[in-house]
Amino acid sequence: MSRASVAVPRRSGALRPPTLQTLPVAVTANVAKVRGRTRSTIMAVVKADGYGHGAVTVARAAVAAGAGWLGTTSVAEASALRGAGLTVPILTWLHPGGVDAETAAAARVDVAVGSVDELGALLAQAAPMLRIHLHVDTGMSRGGCPRAQWDELIGLARRGQQARRVRVVGMMGHLPLADRADPAANASAVADMRAAQQAARLAGLGSPLAHLAATSGTLTDPATHFGMVRVGAGLVGIDPSETVELHGASRLTAPIVHTAAVEAGTAVGYGGTYVTDRATHLSVLPLGYADGIPRERLPQAGVEILGRRFPVAGRVSMDQIVIDTGALSFPVGTSATVFGPDGGATPTVQEWARWAGTIPHTIVTGIGPRVKRSIA
């Protein structure tokens, strides 16, 4: 048999790869919704690569829409934003590798300090003057200075400020219960924040910019707003309090890479957990749990193909999922939408979270590095 007689379908070069598309217009609209709920300064929190949407992309859109500050967890993330030309103040608060005061100062990044030891270590570094925010524990017990040590922290900060080693520009707390959308649940944290402000004032630190609320507090409880609110999830369309309709800011698509017509009684995937109950068509998408598709999920999990929703059939593999398209057979290369803001048959991130028994944040931050990124 000659090679030329074998018809090899040409396809791989023509397929559009799995893509996570970020929609900056949604970020713009979400900042406008937040602005409708508060007069305080808005900090756009873009940690974890902008909740998986691209930190620089989300930051640019948020700042253009009126956010006055940016927030990250590390100096490295903040430096990347500076490198992209963002000039608004940036606060970083977790410091996974400790704070390099020199780098922070060079990038003009504010640093939150959550303990006496942390501040002591900063002051011990020979570095230019740093702008700091005192991070006080307002009920999270997760970072933040415990109340019993506030006076010590504030005293050390004042001495550092007198020695021109630091400037205390902010005071930060965090709300553990704001997702309940019940102001009563936030009351003790609000009282703690006021007490911390008062302690700073009495110690001669003046009135640093106070900030306590994240997305849910911002959307549901004005008493938590203080001088600034820190909004992350809300930028990308997630309201953890589930009280406000925001705009989904990403769309995950993948091409069909393989199809098959199968008989009733066909087992699909590892373990044969899904058995077709009729003759049907199967389509394979090149996305699996390594790409962020949750392996644990309810049977109704599905994707959109040409305006209709079809279920995921059988187990999610590392690199692929199978879709049961029933009577319909789609050509290889047809695009499927795993999630997006489009409505209709297209699943939302919130639906995927429900199917997987998790929160939307883990869906959007979990999309793996093999998925191509694009900006709409």
Ligand X SMILES: *Cc1c(COP(=O)(O)O)cnc(C)c1O
Binding site for ligand X (CB under 6 A): 45, 47, 93, 174, 214-215, 230-234, 240
Minimum distance from CB of 147 to ligand X (Å)?
18
Nearer to ligand X, 98 or 128 (CB): 98
How many residues make up the chain in this entry?
A: 376
Minimum CB distance to ligand X smaller for 186 or for 215: 215
Q: Nearest to residue 215, comparing CAs of 232, 193, 190?
A: 232
Least gap, CB of 213 to ligand X (angstroms):
8
Closer to ligand X by Cβ: residue 38 or 266? 38
Min. distance of Cβ 120 from ligand X in angstroms? 22
Quick one: 230 or 315, whose CB is closer to ligand X?
230
CB of 240 to ligand X, least distance (A): 5
Per-residue exposure over 146-165, b if at least 16 CB sit within 10 Å of its own CB, e if not: eeeebeebbebbbebbeeeb
CA dihedral 36, 37, 40, 42 (to 10 degrees): -70
**Which of 44, 48, 55, 47 has the alpha carbon at shortest distance from 22?**
55
Q: Rounded to the nearest whole angstrom, what is the least distance from the CB of residue 97 to ligand X in the complex?
A: 17
Question: Which is the catalytic residue, given 33, 47, 274, 289?
Answer: 47
Q: Has 270 been annotated as catalytic?
A: yes
Q: Is 47 assigned a catalytic role?
A: yes
Residue 367 CA to its chain's centroid (Å):
11
Closest separation in Å from C-beta 58 to ligand X: 12
* Residue in 350, 376, 355 with CA at minimum distance from that of residue 245: 350
Give the per-residue SS3 of 42-100.
Answer: EEEECHHHHHCCCHHHHHHHHHHCCCCEEEECCHHHHHHHHHCCCCCCEEECCCCCCCC
Q: Which is nearer to ligand X, 240 or 340 (CB)?
A: 240
Give the residue with the Cβ less far from ligand X, 200 or 231: 231
AA identity, residue 20: L
* Pairing of β 109-113 and β 130-135: parallel
DSSP β-bridge partners for residue 205: none
- d(C-alpha 43, C-alpha 71), whole Å: 6
Whether 193 and 155 have beta carbons less than 8 Å apart is answered as no
CA dihedral 96, 122, 126, 202 (to 10 degrees): 150
Residues annotated as catalytic are 47, 270
